[in-house]
Structures are given as C-alpha cells and as structure tokens.
C-alpha cells in the first residue's frame, strides 16, 4: 500500500466534515464564533533528517513544518503538542523547541515522550483562522495566476552541501499567509516539491497548472530542474485572479488553465520526470 492508497483507505472511515475528505493538509473546526485550524506532521530519522543531526535542529524543523501548514491557511498559531523521542542530547531538543516557540510566539500545550530507535517525532499545531472562508487547495480557477512567495532549492543545497540552515531550520511564512489569505483562490505550502505540490493543487481544483521554469525563483547555485522537484522549501504556493497584485513579495510562475489530460505542464509540456517526493 503506497501513500495515496493508504489515504484512499482512510477516506472510507467515518470522517468529520472539517477533515475535508483528507484532501488538504489541515482540518477546520468551527466552535462557537471561532474557526480553528489543526494539523499534524511527523519527521523521522533517515527520512527528514540525517542520523547524528543536532536535536536542536530536529525540534526546529518539527515545529516549523507544522507552522507552515497553518501559514497556508492564514492562521494565527494557538499552540503545539509535541510527541518527542528521548534521544541522546535531548536537552538540545528542548533548546530547539524554546528557540522556535519563542521566535514565533507559540506556546507549548503538552504532548508525550517515548524511547524508540530510529526516532520519529510528531507535532500537532492548532491555530485560529484570521479570515473565513479559510483558503484551501481546491479553489483555483482557470485563468488564475500561479504564484510563489520565495526561491526554491535552498533546502536541497543545504542538504547536499551540509552548509546553511534552509534544510533543517525552515522559516514558516506565517505573516505572508495571513496577508494573502483573504485574497487568494487556493493556497498551500511547498513541502514535497514545487511541481508535485502544484499538480496537487491543480488536480484538487479541476485545473491544469502551467508553470514556466524560467519564471520560478531559484536559490543561487541550485539546478532549476532539480530544485523544483526536491521539496522542503516551505514557501507558499497560491493561485489568485489574473489581475492580482500580492501584498507580499512573490513571483508569478505560471497560470491555472482549464483541466486537460494532465494536472501539470512545465514550459507547455508534460514533464517526463518525477515531480517530487512521495512516500512509498
């Protein structure tokens, strides 16, 4: 069973309406006059970080990836719960948590600890919606522009060279997400590769994403074609009406077209490459 098959099987279970049929990265719950956004991500040794990584960086990346999901909904974080493994140097994990929670003014709500190897850490992040309806990935329309908030490929370079912080200490675009949320037709963060995530947005929206590679901002020194398929960038990818002027720095990388035989075109062609990272 691969990831897509597993999620399809989960859709046969009783689902809350806020789960949106598991077709997005977050759940949305309306309680009284508040709309809450909930998300959960896990990171594992040997998959999301190398063995021997400083636990400080593990903690930062764990929280950052979850805050990035909130950013894509324009949410204001309420707090996080952490599922932690008692690794060697666990005090550094605590310091990493302290750093990112302080940086983004997010309190710790609780969680659990276990001892297991290889280590897998989990985080649940909860936020308040700052606008309703909350942006989803399935609202893009043919004729919309397709945008990204920053360069792609820095995480790839950091992983391959061992230098820089982009791979292990991504910076969730919370302020950008809040500024964009009331204006976009669809929005998500780029975690598994720009091409793969753009194809997911297009498929969910019943469109084709038509991306021009030369328009995509690429981190200095990164190979463009590899960068757009690598992932871990955590920039915001969004669709908006053709005449939209974004209130934050962003690059228009293509358009949403009417649905065709594929959900993604690159320079007008169907790309004959793996679009990004998928769990087997």
- DSSP, collapsed to helix, strand or coil, labels residue 248 as coil
Rg (CA), the chain: 18
Find where tokens 């009783």 sit. 14
Tens-of-pLDDT digits for all 280 residues of the chain?
A: 888 899 999 999 999 999 999 989 999 999 988 999 999 999 999 889 999 999 999 999 999 999 999 999 999 999 999 999 999 999 999 999 999 999 999 999 999 999 999 999 999 999 999 999 999 999 999 999 999 999 999 999 999 987 778 999 999 999 999 999 999 999 999 999 999 999 999 999 999 999 999 999 999 999 999 999 999 999 999 999 999 999 999 999 999 999 999 999 999 999 988 888 765 5
Do the Cβ atoms of 53 and 93 come closer than 8 Å?
no
Contacting residues for 187 by C-beta, under 8 A, at least 6 apart: 72, 73, 74, 135, 136, 137, 177, 180, 181, 236, 237, 238, 239
For the chain, the residue count is: 280
40 three-state secondary structure:
strand
Pick the closest to residue 246 from 111, 146, 97 (CA basis): 146
Question: What pLDDT does 142 receive?
Answer: 98
Please state at what angle helix 90-103 crosses helix 55-71, rounded to 10 degrees.
30
CATH 3.90.650.10 domain range(s) in the chain: 145-266
* Fold (CATH) for 3-129: 60s Ribosomal Protein L30; Chain: A; (3.30.1330)
Report CA 266 to chain centroid distance, whole Å: 21
With beta carbons less than 8 A apart as the criterion, state whether 134 and 20 touch: no
Q: Is 54 helix (H, G, I), strand (E, B) or coil?
A: coil
Beta strands in 45-142 (DSSP E): 75-85, 108-114, 120-129
Protein fold of 145-266: Phosphoribosyl-aminoimidazole Synthetase; Chain A, domain 2 (3.90.650)
Cα dihedral 277→41→52→97 (10° resolution): 140
Which residues belong to CATH 3.30.1330.10 in the chain?
3-129
**Residue 209 host element (H or E):** strand 207-211
């Amino acid at each position: 069973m691969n990831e897509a098959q597993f999620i399809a099987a989960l859709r046969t279970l009783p689902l809350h309406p806020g789960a949106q049929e598991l077709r997005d990265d977050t759940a949305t719950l309306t309680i009284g006059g508040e709309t809450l956004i909930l998300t959960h991500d896990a990171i594992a040794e040997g998959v999301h970080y190398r063995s021997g990584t400083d636990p400080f960086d593990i903690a930062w990346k764990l929280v950052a990836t979850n805050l990035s999901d909130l950013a894509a909904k324009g949410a204001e974080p309420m707090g996080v719960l952490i599922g932690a493994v008692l690794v060697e140097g666990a005090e550094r994990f605590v310091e990493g948590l302290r750093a990112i929670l302080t940086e983004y003014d997010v309190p710790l709500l609780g969680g659990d600890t276990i001892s297991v190897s290889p280590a897998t850490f989990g985080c649940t992040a909860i936020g308040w919606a700052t606008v309703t309806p909350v942006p989803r990935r399935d609202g893009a329309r043919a004729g919309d522009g397709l945008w990204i908030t920053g360069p792609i490929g820095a995480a790839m370079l950091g992983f391959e060279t061992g230098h820089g912080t982009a791979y292990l200490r991504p910076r969730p675009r919370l302020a950008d997400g809040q500024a964009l949320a009331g204006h976009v037709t669809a929005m998500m963060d780029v975690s598994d590769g720009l091409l793969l995530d753009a194809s997911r947005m297009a498929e969910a929206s019943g469109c084709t994403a038509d991306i021009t590679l030369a328009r995509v901002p690429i981190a200095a020194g990164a190979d463009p074609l590899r960068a757009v398929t690598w992932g871990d960038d955590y920039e915001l990818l969004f669709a908006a009406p053709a005449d939209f002027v974004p209130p934050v720095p962003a690059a228009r990388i293509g358009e949403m077209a009417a649905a065709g035989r594929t959900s993604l075109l690159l320079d007008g062609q169907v790309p004959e490459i793996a679009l990004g990272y998928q769990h087997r």
